């Protein structure tokens, strides 16, 4: 059986999720000593043990919740009296720290023009995994748009067939016009993406909204979109616009206000 440390290295390499459970305190008689570890995968499998029995079942449940919400947990259990709800009769006490192991969030840039390239560069620098998609194959290559981790030369409506879009995925549409957005946006609105933003003016977005409603897409789904995208920085160059876009994403992700720090 592979070691937990080998498994952790594979998780990082493959951008997979898990939770690492470690016994951090043990007093009296307990099943496992301090430092004992269990690595829990999202598919239900696990490596190692923190004690077996009801204790381990409870820790497994907490580990799966940790993977889901991305939050660590410090668990404390008495091991004395099952009639009081204790997970054992050893007589001791044990603490287990549960740490979610999550890959860097995925940011997908759809439309690899000047602004799209600038967003790829900045997002990569900020620690995101970055994918690029463009229906123009010549724009969707490492030579044309360096620094991305993956390239998908497909139409926007085909993208969900190639990428798993989950609640940590950010979708940035730096596309070349409203017609492109209206034609391909619907499948993205059905996804669990954390953020969907579209570049362009208020007028362009109003045109896109009109076209989407004509297709029968609900106002609730359309409201998922941030457009015009970004914070108001009076940005002009592609690089400045990329800063505006990523500033809004970081603000929403970390529940910032966007106000000047001196306020």
pLDDT at 77 (0 to 100): 81
Q: Looking at the structure, do residues 66 and 127 belong to the same domain, yes or no?
A: no
Spatial CA neighbour of 51 closest among 72, 75, 70, 68: 75
Whether residues 138 and 246 share a domain: the answer is yes
Question: Domain check: are 127 and 91 in the same one?
Answer: no
Confidence of residue 58 (pLDDT cuts 50, 70, 90): confident
Does position 215 have pLDDT exceeding 80, yes or no? Answer: yes
pLDDT at 227: 94
Domain assignment of residue 258, yes or no: no
pLDDT (average), residues 232-261: 94
User: Once rounded to an integer, what is the mean pLDDT over residues 144-166?
Assistant: 94
Q: What is the pLDDT of residue 182?
A: 93
Same domain, 56 and 93: yes
Are residues 133 and 14 part of one domain? no
In a domain, 260, yes or no: no
Specify the number of domains making up the chain.
2
Higher pLDDT, 79 or 64: 64
67-95 pLDDT, tens digit each: 999 999 999 887 655 555 445 556 678 89
Residue 191 shares a structural domain with residue 90: no
Q: Is residue 187 part of a domain?
A: yes
Domain boundary among 101, 119, 147: 101
Name every residue whose Cβ is closer than 8 Å to that of residue 261 and which is 6 or more positions away in sequence.
none
What is the percent of the chain where pLDDT is above 70?
92
Evaluate whether 191 touches 157 at the Cβ level (below 8 Å): no
Confidence band for 23, pLDDT divided at 50, 70 and 90:
very high
CATH number at residue 193: 3.40.50.720
Q: What is the mean pLDDT of the chain?
A: 90
Q: Is 110 strand, coil or helix?
A: strand
**Burial, 196: exposed, middle or buried (Cβ in 10 Å; 0-12, 13-18, 19+)?**
buried
Residues 75 and 132 in one domain: no
Owning domain of residue 51: 4-101
Where is average pLDDT lowest: 48-62, 79-93, 211-225? 79-93
| Claim to verify: residue 91 and residue 143 sit in the same structural domain | no
Based on the fold, state whether residues 42 and 152 are members of the same structural domain. no
Does residue 29 lie in a domain region? yes
Are residues 64 and 135 both part of a single domain? no
CA distance 193 to 120: 18
How much is the pLDDT for 51?
78
Residues 130 and 228 in one domain: yes
pLDDT of residue 30: 67
- Looking at the domain assignment, is residue 84 inside a domain? yes
User: 102 φ, ψ to 5°?
Assistant: -120, 140
**Of residues 152, 159, 221, the one with CA closest to residue 184:** 159
215 falls within a domain: yes
């Amino acid at each position: 059986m592979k070691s937990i440390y080998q498994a952790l290295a594979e998780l990082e390499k493959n951008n997979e999720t898990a939770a690492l459970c470690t016994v951090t305190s043990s007093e009296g008689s307990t099943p496992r000593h301090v430092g004992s570890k269990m690595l829990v995968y999202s598919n239900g499998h696990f490596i190692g043990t923190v004690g077996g029995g009801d204790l381990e079942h409870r820790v497994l449940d907490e580990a799966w919740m940790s993977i889901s919400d991305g939050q660590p947990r410090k668990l404390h259990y008495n091991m004395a009296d099952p009639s009081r709800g204790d997970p054992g009769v050893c007589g001791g006490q044990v603490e287990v720290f549960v740490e979610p192991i999550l890959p860097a969030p995925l940011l997908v840039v759809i439309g690899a023009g000047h602004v799209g390239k600038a967003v790829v560069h900045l997002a990569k620098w900020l620690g995101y995994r970055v994918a690029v998609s463009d229906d123009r194959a010549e724009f969707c290559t490492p030579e044309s748009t360096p620094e991305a981790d993956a390239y998908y030369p497909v139409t926007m409506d085909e993208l969900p067939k190639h990428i798993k879009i989950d609640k940590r995925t950010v979708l940035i549409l730096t596309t070349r016009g409203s017609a492109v957005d209206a034609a391909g946006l619907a499948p993205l609105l059905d996804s669990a993406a954390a953020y969907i933003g579209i570049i362009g003016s208020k007028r362009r977005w109003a045109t896109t909204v009109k076209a989407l409603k004509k297709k029968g897409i609900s106002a609730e789904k359309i409201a998922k979109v941030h457009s015009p995208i970004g914070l108001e920085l009076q940005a002009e160059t592609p690089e400045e616009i990329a800063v505006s876009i990523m500033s809004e994403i970081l603000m929403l992700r970390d529940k910032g206000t966007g106000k000047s720090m001196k306020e």
